[in-house]
Amino acid sequence: MPPRKTVKATNTQILLQRALALFSTDYRARNLSDETIAWYEKRLGRFIVWCRGEFQHEPTLADLTPQRFQLFVLEKRAGGVYQQHPFHQQQ
């Protein structure tokens, strides 16, 4: 049988959803708890949904920049996500 040819994917080809699946698989291989993995999947999933709306296409690793992640965080803070959180200081 001939050796299999390995094809390297570029950042423009790796979807964030696929990267999240690989991340989860890695954490399972490291024997992290199901609860820990679910915590990461939930939060990273929210980011992926935001990216889809922001970019108007299925996001890839190439779409990620520090500025875009900062924009995500700023929008979440401005949206009042933590307004009802018990640790949120009322002004």
Tell me the per-residue pLDDT of 23-77, one tens digit each, with 9 for 90 and over. 999 999 999 999 999 999 999 999 999 999 989 999 999 999 999 989 988 888 8
Choose between 32 and 89: higher pLDDT: 32
Model confidence, pTM? 0.71
* Distance linking the first and last C-alpha atoms of the chain: 70
Q: What is the pLDDT of residue 84?
A: 59
* pLDDT confidence bin for 78, thresholds 50/70/90: confident
Cα–chain center distance at 24: 11
Closest CA to 16 of 73, 71, 55: 55
Q: What is the pLDDT of residue 12?
A: 73
Q: Please, which residues have CB within 8 angstroms of residue 75's CB and are 6 or more apart in sequence? A: 50
What whole-number distance in Å separates Cα of residue 36 and Cα of residue 28?
10
